[in-house]
Every structure is written in C-alpha cells, then in structure tokens.
Amino acid sequence: MRDRTRVSDATWTAFTEALRFVVVPIVLVNLVTNNYPQLTTAFMPDIKTYIIFFGGMITAASTLEASNKPGTWKRLLFGLTALAFVCMWMFVIFGGGVAHFTYGPYFVRFDMSKIVYIMLFGISLKGLLVVSTFSGNKHYLEEQERKRKEERPARRVRARPKPVPRGKPSGSAFSSMSKMAFEVSHDDTVGYAPAPPPPPPQSRSVQRTLAYKQCPICGARASLKETTCKRCGAWFSQDSFS
C-alpha cells in the first residue's frame, strides 16, 4: 500500500512538474517571442532548449524526490537538486534579469537582476523545508527501525511452524473415544485423570516413534511389551501394549 502511494506520488509529481516547468513555459515563451520579437534577453536565442533541459532536470529530480520516503538521504539529495535546477531555470527564464527591447527609434534596457537574485533567494528558502522535512522524518525513520529491530526476535518466535494436528487413532480402543488420557492406576482406581499439560507437538510426534513408554505414575521408562511399571508396579494402559 505504501509503495503504491510512492509510485502514484512520483507519477503525479512528474506530470505536474513537466506541466509547470516545460509545457506551460514553452507555450508562454512562444507567445511572447511571436508577439514581441523585439524583446531580447541573454538566453533568448536558445530559450526553448534551456527550458526543456532545466525543466526536464527539475521534473526528473522532483519525481525521484517524490519516489523516496521523507527522511531518506535520497529524498534530501533529489529535493535539493530539484531546487538548484529551479533556481537555474528561473535565472534563464528571466535572462539573468536583463532584458532589451527595441521599438522603432527606442532602445530600452531593463535591468532587474537584483530582483531576480531576491527571487532566487526566495526559492532557495524552500531548501530549509526540504532539510527540515528530512531531519524530522529521519528521527521518525530511525525510531521505526529501532522498534523493528526490537520486535524481530519476538516475531521469530511467533513465526515458528504450527504443530501438526494429531492423526485419528486407529482401532476401536476405548482410549481413542476420549481426548483425555485414560489411565489405570496401580490401586485399580478406574477413571479419567485430570488432563496433563499438553505436551509439545513435536515431542508427541516423536513419542509415537519411541521404542519405549513412560510410566504415567512415576515417569520411569519401560519396554513397550511391559504391562506394569517395574519401579512402582503401576499398570500401563491397554493400548500401550504392542
């Protein structure tokens, strides 16, 4: 979901920046040069090439900026790069602030380079925003990363494979009719013992393949053929006989 947002952000940025810095300026420059051919600036002869170049660079840098998460170094780098290209683009569009106009016997020179420098200063202020966004989100990203690292071991534990469900018992043994362990005590007390804590599934599956059985009273191991425990004399359940 997050990746898709980045992609759509980048696409939208590419579209809008191409419009703002390439398409619309070229249309405007065409209008101006067609209607006022007497107007000249330092970059006027190749103004469209400059617009396409710097506008393209702005679009590319802004797209790459938008495609990276806030707080990443890449986003900071591309953000500042885009800003630098916007400054160059602006300088070129305004011809460095010096324009000449020839109309009949009149020759007019208009030098507003100081205002252009002030405008460039205003644009470069956006750099503060880029840096501020970077520094703010960088802490957030670092915190997220730290949390992720902390949560990783717990996730590993949770990610262990689920126990294999126990297979259906074969035969018509009485013990198979109940999920509770059926025990026969050594003093002939017949009944259901309280359910022991469920053994880990692995051990249960291993138990099926073991070549011995365990006395439910004293826990001593005994051969599968044994009917009573040799240590305490308790009877083994009938289904434990092989």
- Residue 228: beta bridge partners? 235
Burial class (CB in 10 A: 0-12, 13-18, 19+), 43: middle
Tell the smallest beta-carbon distance from residue 128 to another protein (Å).
6
Query: What Rg, from alpha-carbon coordinates, does the chain have?
Result: 41
Footprint of another protein on residues 136-195 (CB under 8 A)?
Answer: 136, 139-140
- Per CB under 8 A, the segment of 15-23, 125-133, 157-165, 194-202 that binds another protein is 125-133
Name the helix (H) or strand (E) containing 109. Answer: strand 106-111
Which residue's CB is nearer to another protein, number 118 or number 218?
118
* Measured distance CA(2)–CA(59) in Å, rounded: 22
Distance of CA 127 to CAs 123, 134, 221, 234, Å? 8, 10, 76, 84
Choosing from 7, 118, 193, 224, the residue that interacts with another protein (CB under 8 A) is: 118
129 binds another protein (CB under 8 A): yes
* Measured distance CA(189)–CA(207) in Å, rounded: 26
69 binds another protein (CB under 8 A): no
Choosing from 114, 158, 179, 208, the residue that interacts with another protein (CB under 8 A) is: 114
107 binds another protein (CB under 8 A): yes
Binding site for another protein (CB under 8 A): 105-112, 114-115, 118-119, 121-123, 125-126, 128-129, 132-133, 136, 139-140
